[in-house]
Amino acid sequence: MMLKRVSSWKRGQIILVMSILLITVILLVSTIIYLTSTQHLFFKYNPSREIILSIDADFHRALTRILANTTALYSEWAEIDGPRRNANITFSYWVLSTQAAYAGKGLNIETQWIDEPIQESRTMELVVGGSKKNLSYPERRLQDRLLKLFWYRPNSISAIGADISIDATDQGVIGWRATHIVLLNLTITSIRVEKNEGSVYVDVVVLRENGFPVNDLHKTNFEIYLFNPDAPQGVYPWIREKMDNQDQVVYNGDGSYTIRLVPDFNPGKNSPFWTFYYQFVIVRVKDSRGIIVEAYSYAGMEYIIQENAIEPYYPNNPLKTDETYLFELLPNGTIFWFGWPINPGNSPPIPMPPVKQVRVYINDTSTPTGFREASYQAERWTPDYKLPLFNYAEWRRRLGEGSKLAFLVDYPPGVYQRKVRIVWAEDCDATPPDYMVDIEYGEDEVRINNKVYTMKLKVGPGSYELDYSLSIVNGDRRHTEYALFGYDVLRFSGGYWFPKRLPYYMNMSSGRTWEVPKPGPIRMYAFRNSTQVYETFERGGQLTHTIIDDELLHTEIISVAYDVNYFTWTFSGTWLRNTNLNYSTYITMINGNDTDSSVFPTNRVRWGSVYSTNNKYKKYINGSFASANRQHRSYDLNINNDASYSYFLTMYNQYFGTSIFLTKETLRSLTSDGRDQGWIWTSADYARRVMSYDSIYFNLNNIFNIRKNKGDTFLIKAAGMIHSGGSPRDSFSDSVTWANGDQYRVSDAVKIPDMYYRMFTGENNPTIIGVPEILYYAGDWI
């Protein structure tokens, strides 16, 4: 039985079962292989790569947009704070927006500003008219500021950069990070002229980030300015080339372009443009991304300015502590002192950087670099430079038409030459200089403090009832008043009213008789320009006034500079009709008031000195004022003695003194009618001390009229100064030269005005020594 059973299992069942098992195994294995080979196709698709790449690309795009917008705004606004604020806001908005846009995907996006270098320190070559200049540029970095602009150099860069890191935990991506830098790099490599064909060739290289060349620029991407040295006064000399058919832009490969320019202002064959001024080029490039960069072919200039007014006459004199000039530099390169140009020949022009970029340095051997920053400000005037604009001191703009750069240069004892560097900073985060002149607007007066003195300028409607225009007060409250131009005398029932007519101006909105805008960093202007004249007359036994507006056009400017002991005043007048004058006074100095004789006696001056053309007493007439109404030097007014005069009048006591200085042209104007005098007297009211320059003196007994024809002009330039005082000695009496008071052979006090008056005459102006040096330095200076 057992054998039988075994035999039957072998024959059928084993084969069948084995077959079944084999088939099952084959099917299972094939199924597993199939599933394994196709399993990846069933993975859920994870788009993290695309998402991160798209965010990364948009981050790069956002940075590009921010840089483009910032460079455009900065170029227009000429200040970086607003554009930078916009950039930061846009950057934050982008981060918030991107996080919101991908909120459902579990992303964590973080950004960080970086301090990566955007250009290593390097030396570049600039070829100007065949002359090679090797320019060393320092390393430029982003400085954790999001973006940086290094402009106004032959090599200029606009750059932005930041890090982005993304964690996509839901998608299994952790720690993805990328650094993005976007930039536009412009280098002026060569400038040359082909005079015969009337062309200027400018070679530039334009690169983007990673040194990739920018190869898609056309004429419209370039904005180029050339300097027209033949531009007439009042016409801005920087001319933007139209980039018309005459001009060409040729791409040479590797980001190099050659730009051929035919100056639109057509310089003549003999124009200094072809020999000197062609080298001053401004190139602004805007690439297809909208990023702007601005390069100048030069970085500044250096002058040696020599003073000729004091050191030659008072060498190494320790009293020479206040010789400070306020120079004014115009865009065409002309430097002025008190309205006189001092440049002998071609001078480098000032380009058009934002005001805050400008820096003025003067040499100072006590500093490590040999230079220190000088005080300066940029101003804006009318194109003809007749008047400052109301917002003349606004720094949020470029130097341009009507611009003037004012800077102070001092000459201590023993120093008669100064090197002056005028440069424009390349870092667009440069800040404007501090505003150092204080101003306070009162109801009737504006008080301007320049550190040395406070000028109280009478600006209220009642100022025409006063007999002075302004007062200067030093820190010890010692003061002197100055009366400015007036003319004619009113004879009325009570006596005489001097002067009958005063130049008049009224700003109806401010109620002020002068325009006194907010001052700049180192200078304040008060100015007015009007055809109105305030006339006093008698009606019914009372004095009253009227305004006449067809007699005199008058333009006057008072300038107060920081930390100097003088102010300047310029008056230009044009007679609008034929006019007869019986009196005309240019400027008067008055000291004393109702209290100082008893309360502040040290405030009251005691003596006066005249720089006289009468050589009887070695050119100076020194005398004492009286305690009651007296004439000391005058023609035809009670007395008729010597009233000759010259460049200055001064009054003083032991503690302080004040002076008036005149220019030579003003002296000439004073004497033009042959009725002039240096009038010195003591007034009836409070025995005030009065010294004035009159172009037409008043004759009590024989009132004469000096005719001024319609169209006649006159110019008054004067300075007032407050300084140390002194005492006269060695008294004597000579009523011909000083009546009603003591006269003195010597006065210590006259040394000071004698030392300084030449600064203001125009005869001893500073001069520029040699040829101004054109600077190509890279980086900033100090």
Partner 1 sequence: MIDDRGQMRTVEALLASGIIAVAMWSMINLTKTSDPYSAKARNELEKYCYDFLMSLAEREVFDRVVFNSTRVRTGWEGLMKNLLNSLLPANILYNMTVFNMTQTGETVMEVPLGESISNASQGDFSMAKEAAAADITYTTRNRWVLKIHLEVGRG
Residues contributing to the site for partner 1 (CB under 8 A): 8, 12-13, 16-17, 19-20, 23-24, 27-28, 30-31, 34-35, 38, 41-42, 45, 47, 50-51, 53-55, 57-58, 61-62, 65-66, 68-69, 90, 93-94, 96-102, 290
CB of 77 to partner 1, least distance (A): 17
Q: What does residue 186 show for φ and ψ, rounded to 5 degrees?
A: -120, 130
CB of 31 to partner 1, least distance (A): 5
Contact status, residue 697 vs residue 636, Cβ threshold 8 Å: yes
CB of 289 to partner 1, least distance (A): 9
CB of 285 to partner 1, least distance (A): 18
CB of 11 to partner 1, least distance (A): 10
Instruction: CB nearer to partner 1: give 34 or 441.
Output: 34
CB of 1 to partner 1, least distance (A): 14
Instruction: CB nearer to partner 1: give 102 or 485.
Output: 102
- Rg of the Cα atoms in the chain: 39
For residue 295, the cross-strand partners are 283
Instruction: CB nearer to partner 1: give 198 or 290.
Output: 290
Residue 734 burial (CB count, 10 A): 15
Contact status, residue 314 vs residue 755, Cβ threshold 8 Å: yes
Query: From start to end of 130-172, where are the E strands?
Result: 131-137, 140-141, 147-150, 155-168
Instruction: CB nearer to partner 1: give 107 or 261.
Output: 107
- Nearest Cα to 649, choosing from 674, 627, 673, 632? 632
CB of 105 to partner 1, least distance (A): 8
Q: What does residue 515 show for φ and ψ, rounded to 5 degrees?
A: -85, 120
Residue 510 burial (CB count, 10 A): 12
Instruction: CB nearer to partner 1: give 65 or 633.
Output: 65
Q: β-strands 122-128, 147-150: how paired?
A: unpaired
d(CA 475, CA 477): 5
CB of 72 to partner 1, least distance (A): 11
Look up residue 386 and give its DSSP letter: S
CB of 67 to partner 1, least distance (A): 11
Q: How far is CA 418 from CA 100, 350, 370, 445, 524, in A?
A: 62, 20, 11, 38, 25
Residue pointed to by tokens 């020594």: 769
d(CA 295, CA 166): 37
Instruction: CB nearer to partner 1: give 98 or 644.
Output: 98
Residue 179: what residue type?
Answer: T
d(CA 265, CA 441): 46
Instruction: CB nearer to partner 1: give 182 or 680.
Output: 182
Three-state SS at 211: helix
Instruction: CB nearer to partner 1: give 29 or 547.
Output: 29
Residue 459: what residue type?
Answer: V
Burial of residue 24 (CB within 10 Å: 0-12, 13-18, 19+) is: exposed
Instruction: CB nearer to partner 1: give 54 or 542.
Output: 54
- Nearest Cα to 775, choosing from 296, 224, 173, 258? 296
Instruction: CB nearer to partner 1: give 24 or 431.
Output: 24
**Token pair in block for residue 122:** 């390097």
Please name the residues in contact with 685: beta carbons below 8 A apart, sequence gap of 6 or more. none
CB of 108 to partner 1, least distance (A): 16
- Nearest Cα to 220, choosing from 202, 193, 241? 241
Instruction: CB nearer to partner 1: give 61 or 260.
Output: 61
Instruction: CB nearer to partner 1: give 64 or 463.
Output: 64
d(CA 161, CA 149): 12
CB of 38 to partner 1, least distance (A): 4
What is the sign of the dihedral through the CA atoms of 651, 653, 654 and 656? negative
CB of 26 to partner 1, least distance (A): 10
